[in-house]
Amino acid sequence: MKKVITLCAIAALVLSCATNPFTGKKTMAFVPDSSLFASSFQQYSTFIKENKVVTGTSDAQMVHRVGEKIKGAAEQWLKSNGYANYLKDYKWEYKLVQDNAVNAWCMPGGKIVVYTGLMKVAQGEAGLATVMGHEVAHALANHGQQRMSASVLQQLGAIGVTAATGNSSAETQQKAMAAYGAGSNIAGMMPFSRKHESEADRIGLILMAVAGYNPDNALSFWQRMSAQGGSKAPEMLSTHPSDQTRIANIQKLIPEAKAEAKKFGKSFK
């Protein structure tokens, strides 16, 4: 019986994997896009209603303009690589929201928010394209879907720990669960998230380059972000690469982005 359950679980894992066009890798997809997008659109709508959306300003216009260019770059790249229908269920929106946080995000399905606090660090379209390309890349690479799937696996692991220590004392069970929680986060979830950040940097550079923005500008943007300061956890205890790691990786990835952009008639000195 246990073997049957195990085989079924393995089959479910295999059937729940999908190949992503941007990474070429099979990724976990336990939650279908139809459910993920519906939830994303509803959450986005609620957020927009509860926050102040900035309209009619030059910054708001810039957010929309850059968003359209990044969207167009994604469509171009996907079509040329045989994935013309990949974005068919996306419903793109680009909103500038009044908030001093130096941040931006893109939800599954193309719902984008840029906070006004980011604009002073972006310092123009190229900087903004760096961020929006990166955030859109998270959505295109299905990182939200993968995180949800990874959480399911983490929860299954916790159930396994509970079952394995079921006959032990309450103290032993608590220690085992605490050890599992810390270990699965540090050795599993955090590296998984850092990998996603690096993937989004790579894809984002390609998108901004195909959109016509020189990817060299990504270096100066992330240097400005690093200069914002603030306390940061050591890389191994963080969901993001360190500033130094990110900047070094981006520098290595820029030639690939320029080469991709050249295929679409874009070139940079």
Q: Is 199 exposed, middle or buried (0-12, 13-18, 19+ CB in 10 A)?
A: buried
- DSSP, collapsed to helix, strand or coil, labels residue 107 as strand
- DSSP, collapsed to helix, strand or coil, labels residue 87 as coil
CA–CA gap between residue 146 and residue 136 (Å, rounded)? 15
260 has catalytic annotation: no
One of 68, 75, 93, 135 is an active-site residue; which one?
A: 135
User: In Å, how far are 109, 115, 125, 187, 228 from 118, measured between CA atoms?
Assistant: 22, 6, 12, 31, 11
Judge contact between 247 and 222, C-beta under 8 A.
yes
- What one-letter code names the amino acid at 265? G
- DSSP, collapsed to helix, strand or coil, labels residue 53 as strand
3-state secondary structure 142-195: CHHHHHHHHHHHHHHHHHHHHHHCCCCCHHHHHHHHHHHHHHHHHHHHHHHHHH
CA–CA gap between residue 251 and residue 238 (Å, rounded)? 21
Helix H segments across the chain?
2-15, 33-50, 58-80, 116-122, 125-140, 143-164, 170-184, 190-210, 216-226, 243-262
Give the distance from CA 37 to its chain's centroid. Answer: 15
Active-site residue set: 135
